[in-house]
Structure 1
Amino acid sequence: MIVLFTDYGLTDSYVGQLHAVIARAAPGEAVIDLLHHVPNHDIRAGAYLLPAYAAEFPEETVFICVVDPGVGSSRAPVMLRAFGQWFVGPDNGLFQLLARRDVDHQAYIIDWRPERLSHSFHGRDLFAPVAAMLARGEFPQASDTGLLGSAGSEWPDELAQVLMVDHFGNAITGVRAQTVSPDARLTVNQTVLPRARTFSDVPIGEAFWYENANGLIEIAVNQGSAAEKLAIRAGDPVELS
């Protein structure tokens, strides 16, 4: 199984071109479009979202992960083995939280190169073929580094910030709910919110925070938009007390 996690969006041809490469290189392999709306160029947001979403997939799943504003630069292309899964993408901090949370992780710099390598589309020309090799049970030419580079090493274990706003207007943060008190109150944009178990536990139109289905703290409004009601945007800080 190959899973795609990018900031490419779905209005352009980028995702389709990834699928085309995988179809040629690993025909019949299941391909899942997990998320293509990581906030544009926001490596840190992707780094906190990826572990939460990857946990839903079985061991040996191969992830193509592209939030790569430095594509074509000196940043290394890497493969990370963590939690029994493979992650293929740039060594720019995107895999930092995964590696930190799995002390037995293993990192490899990808040495293999295709005949055609665009300076601006490593997702298609490098990461997709490498992911297809791994899905076929082959190991591409790579150097065992053991560890990732230092990008993102200063980021906290829990990021008290809105990572992204989904199409419902729910605001997803970088804090795992299990790390805070069940009675904690959340403050965002000078508004203090209580915790609720789920949407129907509060009146229609009321804002609250809850542990979402992936274990992250999320701000929501029952049958409404937290982003609109509370003027929330990606990057807004939150405080838990």
Structure 2
Amino acid sequence: MERSYEEGLIAILTDFGDIDNYVAVMKAVIMKENRRVKTLDISNNVLPFSIISGSYLLYTSYKYFPSGTVFLAVIDPGVGSDRKALIVKAGDWFFVGPDNGIFWPIIEENFSQAEAYSISIEKSDLRNISSTFHGRDVFAPIAARLAKNGDPGFFGDPLNLESLSKLSLIKMQKDGAYICFEIIHKDVFGNVVLSSKGKILSIMGKDVEVLKKSDNKKYIFKNVPTFSLLEENELAIYENSFGFLELAKNKGNLFADYGFKIGEKVCLKK
């Protein structure tokens, strides 16, 4: 089914950064395939190779976009391997990118309304495919065509959802008196997002002991709803604007100043 001009939107998420030409070349390929489509960048500064950080950004963004949006997500450290190239339809949105778990939280949330397809090189008539830049040679042209056509079956073969790579943004583990989580994202301010929804703070006190497992250092974070309740450089734990549990240093960079890393375990004690 052909889409109207207003419905042709591709939202782009990559770890390519702003220095090289990768994103511009992908957009050029999209425009050659579909001159009328609009593109909008979610971010091209995902921490390099961090699939979980990219998945968090995608998961917390997609519902704000109009129905029919095609999300082109290329955080692809497995490029050139035998990992599948995917088209996913979840709810009213489409997703194009590698099968590495980045789409799984969205699929889970829309499971009864989700479909997945393995992109067929033959069916899609894709040619001259680089072994290191599927963003340009596979995902960008498919996203552009999907924005016009809206039928994943034209470009791929159906897959069982359970066969897809899985990734979870919610991870929690008891460790004695502590509840432990993983760091899944850090934002431009150095704030640290944990693998939990922020509602867990309702069982915490005003001061929360935070154990950084990598070096066993302990810190006290203020359980507050907003930064205006803090002094400069005070440590805060709060529910962020997307409903996830987050740590911050007010007007400072917690991630850099305290040596946190994506994937690191952080434990909370009441």
Q: TM-score, normalised by structure 1?
A: 0.89
> Judging changes above 3 Å, is the alpha-carbon distance between structure 1 residues 110 and 150 closer, same or farther for their aligned structure 2 residues?
closer
Which structure is higher in helix share? Answer: 2
Question: Quick one: which of 198, 216, 231 aligns to 2:259?
Answer: 231
**Secondary structure in 1 matching 2:163:** coil
Distance 2:239 2:137 in 1: 38
Q: Which residue identity lines up with residue 102 of structure 1 in the other structure? A: N
Distance 1:156 1:128 in 2: 26
Distance 1:186 1:85 in 2: 40
Name 1:187's counterpart in structure 2.
210
Cα deviation for residue 157 of structure 1 reads 3.4
Question: Quick one: which of 89, 106, 110 aligns to 1:98?
Answer: 106
**Secondary structure in 1 matching 2:195:** strand
User: Where in structure 2 are the equivalents of 1:3-14 lying within 5 Å?
Assistant: 3-14=11-22
Name 1:45's counterpart in structure 2.
53
Cα deviation for residue 156 of structure 1 reads 6.5
Distance 1:101 1:186 in 2: 32
> Judging changes above 3 Å, is the alpha-carbon distance between structure 1 residues 174 and 49 closer, same or farther for their aligned structure 2 residues?
farther
> Judging changes above 3 Å, is the alpha-carbon distance between structure 1 residues 187 and 146 closer, same or farther for their aligned structure 2 residues?
same
Name 1:163's counterpart in structure 2.
184
> In terms of mean alpha carbon deviation, does 120-129 or 164-173 score higher?
164-173
Are 1:141 and 2:155 an aligned pair? yes
**Secondary structure in 2 matching 1:38:** coil
Deviations, residues 163-184 of structure 1 (Å, cap 9, x unaligned) = 2322322122332224x24243
Cα deviation for residue 126 of structure 1 reads 0.8
Deviations, residues 191-215 of structure 1 (Å, cap 9, x unaligned) = 2323211111211211102222222
The RMSD of aligned alpha carbons is 2.1
Distance 1:103 1:157 in 2: 17
Question: Quick one: which of 206, 209, 216 aligns to 2:234?
Answer: 206
Distance 1:188 1:37 in 2: 28
Q: Structure 1 regions of 5+ residues with no counterpart? A: none
Which structure is higher in strand share? Answer: 2
Which one has the largest radius of gyration? 2
Q: TM-score, normalised by structure 2?
A: 0.80
Aligned residues: 239
Cα deviation for residue 137 of structure 1 reads 2.7
Name 2:176's counterpart in structure 1.
none
